Amino acid sequence: MLEKRFVIVGGKGGVGRTVVSVALATLLARRGRRVLLAHARSKQRIARLLGCERRFEIDEEMRKVEENLWAVNMTPEASLREKGLMVLRFKAVYRAVLENRLVRYFLRAVPALNEYAMLGKVWYHTTELGPDKRPRFDTVIFDGPAMGHLITMLRIPQVIVETVPDGPLASDAREVLGLLRDPVRTGLWVVTLAEEMPAKEAIELCAAARSDLGITPDRLVVNALYPEEADPRHAARLDALAGAPLDGELAALCASARTLGARRAINDRYLAQLARQVPLARVELPHLFVPELTRAEVDELAAIIERTLAG
Ligand SMILES: Nc1ncnc2c1ncn2[C@@H]1O[C@H](COP(=O)(O)OP(=O)(O)O)[C@@H](O)[C@H]1O
Ligand SMILES: [Mg+2]
């Protein structure tokens, strides 16, 4: 699993795809793999998660963050320029074609094609060679768009292959499709919360990946789990205390403990549902109680992922 060339991180919006992809990237880089962490228009402060915010932000220009680790936050516009360069091979043609007003209008009218430019870019980086003629990156981690958009995006190469006449666009799409459908090179990490809507979307994403897209789901990451009750009797005792006349501070503490217990009870229900409906090896990550996640928390989550993969 750690040997894959291309890892897609998917899931419902807000479940922690960006955080998990950063943790995975740092963990692989530390183990000596050359990693490109490619975000699709992430709104998170990735530089803060990576701990490089004093040196630079992570934007559409690829930067080396640390030994073995590069990161980029792609936009369709920037990728389209690169993709254009890639497909059409040289700049004069690119200018003539992509900077043509009519063509630009057409591309804007087909938003999915814009999105596809980001997939084209990450695919390109999986094939790119370094100066030593070895692959420039051992692993490209794609922090993709939220579930619905991800599925649409991953369908595009198939649509292009079926509809566009032979040419550079179709032949690139065929390559992208070959990569996506190769379980040796490509894997999907599905991130979810143990809550109703995220779990529903995780189940849908796994099904769509398998049946529709031909992509192999590798792992289910259940993120931000509330702490388990140390002692199962606590819940009943807290319930009993709820009616008792407690002083302000103690009452507030009890209320907060009951809220945590209730959250965990929801987590347990959806953990069980996910276990029944998603037959994937699972990584469970705790909810970390800090105002904003930084590199320290990313390292903590990466260590848990590493222990789970080893165990
Ligand atoms: N394990 C966690 N504990 C606490 N907060 C988390 C955890 N994972 C993610 N978050 C927070 O949840 C929010 C959404 O995470 P993010 O990775 O941006 O989700 P996505 O990329 O899926 O939209 C962010 O504010 C992030 O800091
Ligand atoms: Mg994100």
- 15-40 per-position pLDDT tens digit: 999 999 999 999 999 999 999 999 99
Decide: 18 in ligand 1 pocket, CB within 6 A. Answer: yes
Q: How deeply is 193 buried, as exposed, middle or buried, from its count of CB atoms within 10 A (0-12, 13-18, 19+)? A: buried
pLDDT at 163: 78
CA of 261 to the centre of ligand 1 (A): 21
Decide: 293 in ligand 1 pocket, CB within 6 A. Answer: yes
Q: Note the helical H segments in 243-294.
A: 248-277
pLDDT at 167: 74
Matching residue, tokens 């090179």: 185
| Residue 71 identity (one-letter amino acid) | A
User: Measured between alpha carbons, how far is 28 from 71 in angstroms, rounded to an integer?
Assistant: 13
Per-residue pLDDT tens digits for 55-95: 999 999 999 999 999 999 999 888 877 766 565 544 555 56
CA of 222 to the centre of ligand 1 (A): 12
pLDDT for residue 265 is more than 70: yes
CA of 14 to the centre of ligand 2 (A): 7
Ligand 2 is a single-atom ion; what residues have CB below 5 A from it?
Answer: 17-18, 42
Per-residue pLDDT tens digits for 220-259: 999 999 999 878 788 888 888 877 888 888 888 888 888 9
- Which atom of ligand 1 lies closest to the CA of 42? 21
pLDDT at 253: 87
Long-range contacts of the stretch 121-126 (C-beta < 8 A, 24+): 121/38, 121/74, 121/79, 121/82, 121/83, 122/6, 122/36, 122/38, 122/74, 123/6, 123/172, 123/175, 123/176, 123/179, 124/82, 124/83, 124/86, 125/36, 125/38, 126/5, 126/6, 126/179, 126/185
| Residue 231 identity (one-letter amino acid) | D
Rounded to 5 degrees, φ, ψ at 170 are -70, -35
Closest C-alpha to 141, from 195, 69, 207, 81: 69
- Which atom of ligand 1 lies closest to the CA of 14? 23
Per-residue pLDDT tens digits for 186-207: 999 999 999 999 999 999 999 9
CA of 133 to the centre of ligand 2 (A): 33
Least distant ligand from the CA of 41: 2
CA 92 to mean position of chain CA atoms: 35
Decide: 285 in ligand 1 pocket, CB within 6 A. Answer: yes
CA of 293 to the centre of ligand 1 (A): 8
CA 181 to mean position of chain CA atoms: 18
pLDDT at 105: 66
- Count the Cβ atoms, other than its own, within 10 Å of residue 71: 27
Number of H helices, E strands in the chain: 12, 8
CATH number of 6-80+112-229+281-310, picked from 3.40.50.300, 2.60.130.10, 3.90.1640.10, 3.30.70.360: 3.40.50.300
Beta pairing class for 69-74 and 63-66:
antiparallel
- Count the Cβ atoms, other than its own, within 10 Å of residue 39: 27
Decide: 168 in ligand 1 pocket, CB within 6 A. Answer: no
Least distant ligand from the CA of 202: 1
Higher-pLDDT residue of 240 and 185 is 185
CA of 237 to the centre of ligand 2 (A): 39
CA of 170 to the centre of ligand 2 (A): 29
* Run of H or E including 220: strand 217-225
- Tell me the pLDDT band of 104, cut-offs 50, 70 and 90: low
Decide: 26 in ligand 1 pocket, CB within 6 A. Answer: no
Least distant ligand from the CA of 22: 1
Matching residue, tokens 């060339």: 5
Beta pairing class for 217-225 and 186-193:
parallel
